[in-house]
Structure 1
Amino acid sequence: MTRRRLLLLSVSAGAGHVRAAEALRAAAADFDVEVLHLDVMQHVPRAFRTLYTDLYLKLVEHSPSTWAMLYRIMDRTPPSAPAARLRRAIERLNTLDLRREIARFGPDAVVCTHFLPAELLMRERSRGRLACPVHVVVTDFDLHGMWVVPDMAGWFAASDEVAFRMRARGLDAARIHVTGIPIMPAFAQAHDRAACAAEFGIDPARRAILLMGGGAGLGGLDEVAARLLALDADFQLVALAGRNAKALEQLQALAARHPQRLVAQGFTDKVDRLMRACDLVITKPGGLTTSECLALGRPMIVHAPIPGQEERNCDYLLEQGAALKAVDAIALDYRVRELLADPAHLATLAERARSLGRPQAARDVLVRVLGG
């Protein structure tokens, strides 16, 4: 018998949709299935890719108020509206290569971690050009109207509230599943904190804070790190620069002036081990990163949310008692001082985070999609 074929479709407008698909691909190793992950933006004309991804990133960085307005307008626009129909027509015209790739692979099931491919395949199914089931995974703790794609085989929600919103918008309750947001299987594995700390040069006997990115109102990574290190408190700081070589160089220079206090870390595929070595995470409230923190029971200080989806993520974390919010640099200093001086509060945040975590989300999605 030939192995079943699973197609994962993401969109690289921000990193979260791609990371969710990659998490599903990694989890699929436990299933007897052939997997292909396609980023839609790698199969469209350059002009469309620039418009769809670069414009979005520029808006959220340079004109967040404009993006907030567009987010609200698009949320309220019905699928039958002329503007929505025109948008879908433009998307269809620019995704011919993608549809050829899908037909060439011949999937037995499709999982979309972005609404764009879900909308495309909804039409393909209605025209009889695709017979296999198509599923949608929502990658935030909110439900925007563009994610409400009808006639899917299943919709996967990050939380009970998102599932409630799906039902309220008319989706079939029997096909809605609360699984959480897919994250890498490594976040479901058990590891010793001391061993993880030693791997990155962190003293497991001292408290450690993981700083993941600067942002609006906070400044660059090196500025934030320098200010935190000036606080009158005993802790180690781990600053994750990712692929930003300039930021890493600045952090390394700062670390040389603060031996045993600052660890400057570049890109790593072991973020789960880095988080395990730390007691608190300072981050933007993206759906994937916050889901990773929740899975490990790591409390958060969140900052600089993108208007719309990240603001809703932030609201969810604050309402659930798993995070605090820093509206600016002064607030960040205050929150850090407050938590370090109150271990009971930090422990309560950690407990609430752990209670919300869904480390097996990727596997739970695939069980529904593939069975077994």
Structure 2
Amino acid sequence: MKKILLLSVSAGAGHVRAAEAIRAYAHLGDTPLEVVHLDVMQYVTAGFRKLYTDFYIKLVNNAPALWGYLYNFTNDAQADSSIEKLRKKLERMNARALLKEIAEFNPDAIICTHFLPAEILSRLLNKGVVNYPVWVQVTDFDLHRMWVHEGMAGYFAANEEVAFRMRAQGIAAEKISVSGIPIMPGFAAVASREECAAEFGLDARRTTILLMGGGAGLGSLDTIAARLLKLEGDFQLIVMAGKNEAALAALQALSLRYPGRVLPQGFTHKVERLMACADLVVTKPGGLTTSECLAMGLPMIVNAPIPGQEERNADFLLEQGVALKAFDAVTLEYRIRYLLDNPARLAEMSTKARALGRAAAGRQVLDAVLAKCP
């Protein structure tokens, strides 16, 4: 039985979700596999974890411009600069517990959905301390320099442009696969719109807008939803509040004022079934969420991109004609009015989105790794 180790980092949800998608495909295949997924942050000191995850989340929420500067600064930094040496030293000091766990599992292959474990393992591979084949799955439609390391068995790119950037960084072409970004198997075989709409009490015949995020001038979810419900047209809203209980309560109160037009949703594992009911999604341009939308053929209005990786994601989606961008509540209202009044444009965006979708990326990644397993 082959043993596959997935390594992610819980700095944002996307890296973890990509690893979970690959693991889900492992359970569906015919080949007997033992697959373990580890969050690297569970094997570092509390101080390092706070710096790496809590600080990141606070920075992107409270000082996004500063995060954008750091994203570009670290992308351009020389590998032998004093700051880079200090960063790598801190990472090495916090790697001991993780390396012990890896050695005990003794995998046939490792897949990293975050650059941190790839960087740690790259140094040890080059020194001959470890000899596991290590693969890297990039989880955005961009390539930051910190994803690129010596000694990797292979790389998985979101699209052809990311693969081109990998080759420009010196990665051999034969080590690169254009797989897409792994999303859960459910997105590859979703039930019909009619069946999913009936499950949630929605009208499958009505235009449906899925609202997945606010912020950055748009306002709270209930405020955005209330504003949109005043627009002309026969449409219904699905609003996903995730684990934000206050937002969910406010949305539930709003749904009482607009019976049959608002479906508030808390945290759910049925995202693909909700997306199957929708004609348009309003969302932040994270790599995983937008990959899910593309797999479902859903046009997007993207908002509040994190400077750096999400801005690059948004640029890609806009260039491909599958998304519009809203930078405040007024712009969002205009964009939605425009698309509701131009169903042909909405249909064109949907067709382009579906053409870009890679619903089975997780299977492709797993198959490629297993094919090269010793």
| TM-score normalised to structure 2 length | 0.98
Which position in structure 2 is the counterpart of 1:26?
24
Aligned to 1:288: 288
Q: Which runs of 5+ in 2 are unaligned?
A: none
Give the partner amino acid of 1:130.
Answer: V
1:1-372 paired onto structure 2 within 5 Å? 3-29=1-27, 30=29, 31-371=31-371
Distance 1:78 1:143 in 2: 16
| 1:43 shift after superposition | 1.1
What RMSD over aligned residues (CA atoms) do the two structures have, in Å? 0.9
Separation in structure 1 between the aligned mates of residue 136 and residue 123 of structure 2, nearest angstrom: 14
Q: Is the 8 A contact 2:216 2:327 kept in 1?
A: no
Alpha-carbon distance, 1:129 to partner = 2.2
Secondary structure of 1:371's counterpart equals helix
Please give the alpha-carbon distance, in whole angstroms, between the structure 2 residues aligned to 1:7 and 1:78: 31
CA contact (8 A) 2:190 2:273 kept: no
Q: How high is the TM-score relative to the length of structure 1?
A: 0.98
**Displacement of 1:80 after TM fit?**
2.3
Distance 1:276 1:216 in 2: 27
Question: How far does the alpha carbon of each residue in 1:308-349 deviate from its partner, in whole angstroms, 9 at most, with x for none?
Answer: 000000000000001111111100000111101111000000
Q: What CA distance in whole angstroms lies between the structure 1 residues aligned with 2:137 and 2:7?
A: 10
Q: Distance in 2 between matches of 1:26 and 1:355?
A: 24
* Alpha-carbon offset, residue 205 of structure 1: 1.1
- Structure 1 unaligned residues grouped into runs of 5+: none
Match of 2:5, SS state, is strand
Q: Report the Cα distance in structure 1 between the residues aligned to 2:40 and 2:199, rounded to whole angstroms.
A: 36
Does the 8 A contact of 2:79 with 2:85 survive in 1?
yes
Taking every aligned residue pair, what percent have the same amino acid on both sides? 60
Q: 2: distance between equivalents of 1:359 and 1:188?
A: 5
Q: Please give the alpha-carbon distance, in whole angstroms, between the structure 2 residues aligned to 1:87 and 1:33.
A: 35
| Alpha-carbon distance in structure 2 between the residues aligned to 1:356 and 1:22 | 22
Give the aligned residue type for 1:23. Answer: A
Give the AA of the match of 2:82: P
Alignment partner of 2:290: what SS? helix
After TM superposition, what 4+ stretches of structure 1 lie above 6 angstroms from structure 2? Answer: none
Q: Distance in 2 between matches of 1:303 and 1:106?
A: 43
Equivalent residue of 2:209, what SS? strand
Give me the whole-angstrom Cα distance separating, in 2, the residues matched to 1:9 and 1:135: 10
Tell me the distance in 2 between the aligned counterparts of 1:124 and 1:104.
Answer: 16
